[in-house]
Chain A
Amino acid sequence: MPGPDDGVGEVALIRIVAVKFLQAVPVILIISILAFLLLSLLPGDPALIIAGEQASPAAVEQVRRQLGLDRSFLEQLGIWLFNLAQGNFGSSLVLNQSVLSAVAERLPVTLSLAALSISFTIPVGVLLGSVAAYFRRTWIDSAVMTVALLGVSIPAFWIAILGVILFSVQLGWVPSSGFAPISQGVGPWFASLALPALILSLFQIGFLARMTRSAMLDVLGQDYIRTARAKGLSEWRTVGKHALRNALILIITATGILLSAAIGGSVIIEQVFALPGIGRMVVQAILARDYPLVQGTMLILGFTFVMINLIVDILYTLADPRVRHD
């Protein structure tokens, strides 16, 4: 029953949150097993592939023992899950480091990049989408939506290379590669991330603008907007307050997708700009056949996104009273 009967609402809310938590448990287990299975996708003998074609038989045997590949499948899975339960995500074969510390070391770079790009994305994307919806079927709508369409169609790594040529090589505004940690000052930090973050946000801005436009169109057609207009509320209050506030629910939902797109996109962007983040580490690990590092990193990111999606889901439930009465 929609309405301010909070007694019923709160109990339902707690139940929904509890169910969502419980649903996350099997997901985490499945992710752990999927990451484990990644190694068994390798065609042929994983120990031989990881050690390399030229490795001596002794070296291959050492890799086999080190990774526990000489044990049975179920034993390996058991050990894998047991280690995970203790927070042991394995170790890199190349870096001489545990996966967890390798990821922790590179986290600030990727996190800075993702945060900066999302802080570009949300205001610009929401503004563009709202403007397009408000001026629907005019040239403003067409122009904004064409830009958004380009954003989701142009490959980021390509525009990144063009961006480096223009802004670093030709104009010399920003360094062409490398990362300056924030401890060296905000200026150099921002300069090293501005271009990659901007390029990373192009796709997201396009995506969010398109999503915002259709949500706003939905909201602007609702009866309560007509009522607000009919009772003489200013256009700013009607659209700015009533419509946008309802569309904000959508933005909460979009944040999970945007974060996922930002981390996924950073895999590619970090490579172009030689930023020492998690994405670049994964690509290098793949090229160096450091599969345990790939496995462990994917697992950590997978866990992180289960948590992010859980939080998004709960916030969404809190923000939209209709969901509670489902």
Chain B
Amino acid sequence: MTDTGLGSLTTVHAIAAPRGYGAWRRLLRHRSFVIGSSIILLLTLAAVLAPLISPVDPSAMRVRFRFRPPSQAFWFGTDMFGRDVFTRVLYGARVSLFVGFAVCVVSGLCSAILGVIAAQFRRLDGAIMRLMDALMSFPAILLALGIAAALGPRVSSVIIALTVAYIPAGVRIVRAAALTVREMDFVQAAQVSGASSLRIVLRHILPNCLSPLLVHLTFIFAYAMLAEAALSFLGVGIQPPIASWGNIIAEGRDYATEAWWVMLFPGIAISLAALSLNLLGDALGDMLDPRLKGGE
């Protein structure tokens, strides 16, 4: 079968993966990597240190201060309840980054396990891949919407829903990588020298599938954050009063013409976060897949 998914672009070039200090030095000289990782690190720091950066309660309503435009006192202005938008965007970062990271980790683990099983145990391949085809037949956001709606509006539902939506693409990538690696001489050699199949999977196949998966997961992090924002915007994701970038925008939407700042800043935050992750993914892809470096 042909991989018509995202996987077709990021097939294995894991074998050429750079190792050791040289790789680090090259990464640190890669502009996209430096910009992308700096922004995402800063955002993560801001999220973790939110209570220190802004001592205000993100849900504290002060009707006196309704709809204040951005100023020295309220950097991003205030919303219809007089809540400080800067503080809410900071706390929103906690939810959005956590959801993105959790989806990334859980879907990564599931993809690695299912992908390797499909490649290694050929009898299960058909069943696993048809299930993945079925999941991939729904537009990801629609699948996530359906699952999140059924599970109820909670952070965990959003994570589960997005994980299920993004597993199939990951499985395809790991499977394609594993199928290539398993034909390589060093794996054949290990087989001939009597290594157990568990050892071959853990020592040889899995490590060599990790770099394409890592590149893919960086993009999934970005997609998951954008999707979380969209679900929360539609009212099916993170529910108020918990601040998430998506639901701050939804709340600010009704008076976007008068109090534009309420919806403007969380949108910039999402865009920045997604942009930095996409840059990071591009940089990692470049480093791990020399063919796409361009120029040569």
Query: Nearest Cβ in chain B — how far from A252, in angstroms?
Result: 9
Option from B138, B274, B282, B294 in Cβ contact (under 8 Å) with A302? B138
- Does B234 have its Cβ within 8 Å of any Cβ on chain A? yes
Option from A23, A253, A271, A286 in Cβ contact (under 8 Å) with B4? A253
Residues of B near any A CB (own CB < 8 A): 1-2, 4-6, 8-9, 130-131, 133-143, 145-147, 149-152, 222, 226, 229-230, 233-236, 246, 249, 253, 256-257, 260, 263-264, 267, 270-271, 274-275, 278-279, 282, 291-292, 294-296
**Could you give, for residues 264-283 of chain A, a 1 whenever the CB lies within 8 Å of some chain B CB and a 0 otherwise?**
11011001000000000011
**What is the CA–CA distance of A291 and B5 in the complex, to the nearest angstrom?**
29
Chain A residues 153-175 with CB under 8 Å of chain B are: 153-159, 161-162, 164-165, 169
Query: Nearest Cβ in chain B — how far from A143, in angstroms?
Result: 14
**What is the CA–CA distance of A39 and B233 in the complex, to the nearest angstrom?**
23
Question: What secondary structure prevails in chain B residues at the interface with A?
Answer: helix
Provide the residues of chain B in CB contact with A164, threshold 8 Å. Answer: 256
Provide the residues of chain A in CB contact with B149, threshold 8 Å. Answer: 286, 294
Query: Nearest Cβ in chain A — how far from B185, in angstroms?
Result: 22
**What is the CA–CA distance of A277 and B218 in the complex, to the nearest angstrom?**
33
**B141 with A267: CB separation less than 8 A:** yes
**B142 with A169: CB separation less than 8 A:** no
Provide the residues of chain B in CB contact with A214, threshold 8 Å. Answer: 9, 292
**B234 with A268: CB separation less than 8 A:** yes
16 contacts between A and B (CB under 8 A): A20-B1, A31-B138, A137-B295, A152-B222, A153-B222, A155-B226, A155-B267, A155-B271, A157-B230, A161-B263, A267-B234, A287-B236, A305-B138, A309-B137, A313-B1, A317-B2
Query: Nearest Cβ in chain A — how far from B259, in angstroms?
Result: 12
**A302 with B137: CB separation less than 8 A:** yes
**What is the CA–CA distance of A226 and B103 in the complex, to the nearest angstrom?**
44
- Does A325 have its Cβ within 8 Å of any Cβ on chain B? no
Contacts A23-B130, A294-B149 known; list 11 others, CB within 8 Å: A20-B1, A137-B294, A153-B271, A155-B229, A158-B263, A257-B4, A257-B6, A264-B139, A283-B235, A286-B149, A298-B142
**B146 with A155: CB separation less than 8 A:** no
**A218 with B291: CB separation less than 8 A:** yes
- Does A144 have its Cβ within 8 Å of any Cβ on chain B? no
**What is the CA–CA distance of A169 and B141 in the complex, to the nearest angstrom?**
29
Provide the residues of chain A in CB contact with B278, threshold 8 Å. Answer: 149, 152-153
**B296 with A153: CB separation less than 8 A:** no
Provide the residues of chain A in CB contact with B137, threshold 8 Å. Answer: 27, 31, 302-303, 305-306, 309
Who on chain B is nearest to A158 by CB? B267
Option from A27, A286, A303 in Cβ contact (under 8 Å) with B236? A286
Query: Nearest Cβ in chain A — how far from B9, in angstroms?
Result: 6
**What is the CA–CA distance of A169 and B133 in the complex, to the nearest angstrom?**
43
Who on chain B is nearest to A217 by CB? B294
**A41 with B147: CB separation less than 8 A:** yes
Chain A residues 278-308 with CB under 8 Å of chain B are: 282-283, 286-287, 291, 294-295, 298, 301-303, 305-306
Provide the residues of chain B in CB contact with A323, threshold 8 Å. Answer: 2
- Does A30 have its Cβ within 8 Å of any Cβ on chain B? yes
**A38 with B150: CB separation less than 8 A:** yes
**What is the CA–CA distance of A137 and B130 in the complex, to the nearest angstrom?**
41
Provide the residues of chain A in CB contact with B4, threshold 8 Å. Answer: 253, 256-257, 309, 312-313, 316
Given the known interface contacts A38-B147, A256-B4, A268-B141, the answer about A23 and B9 at a Cβ–Cβ threshold of 8 Å is no
Given the known interface contacts A268-B234, A286-B236, A312-B4, the answer about A301 and B138 at a Cβ–Cβ threshold of 8 Å is yes
Query: Nearest Cβ in chain B — how far from A262, in angstroms?
Result: 8
**B291 with A263: CB separation less than 8 A:** no
**A149 with B279: CB separation less than 8 A:** yes
**What is the CA–CA distance of A298 and B139 in the complex, to the nearest angstrom?**
9
**A136 with B138: CB separation less than 8 A:** no
Query: Nearest Cβ in chain A — how far from B3, in angstroms?
Result: 9
**What is the CA–CA distance of A11 and B142 in the complex, to the nearest angstrom?**
39
**B141 with A265: CB separation less than 8 A:** yes
Given the known interface contacts A263-B142, A313-B4, the answer about A155 and B131 at a Cβ–Cβ threshold of 8 Å is no
- Does A4 have its Cβ within 8 Å of any Cβ on chain B? no
**B295 with A136: CB separation less than 8 A:** yes
**B275 with A283: CB separation less than 8 A:** no
**What is the CA–CA distance of A298 and B135 in the complex, to the nearest angstrom?**
11
**What is the CA–CA distance of A161 and B256 in the complex, to the nearest angstrom?**
8
Query: Nearest Cβ in chain B — how far from A33, in angstroms?
Result: 9
Provide the residues of chain B in CB contact with A158, threshold 8 Å. Answer: 229, 249, 263, 267, 270-271
- Does A59 have its Cβ within 8 Å of any Cβ on chain B? no
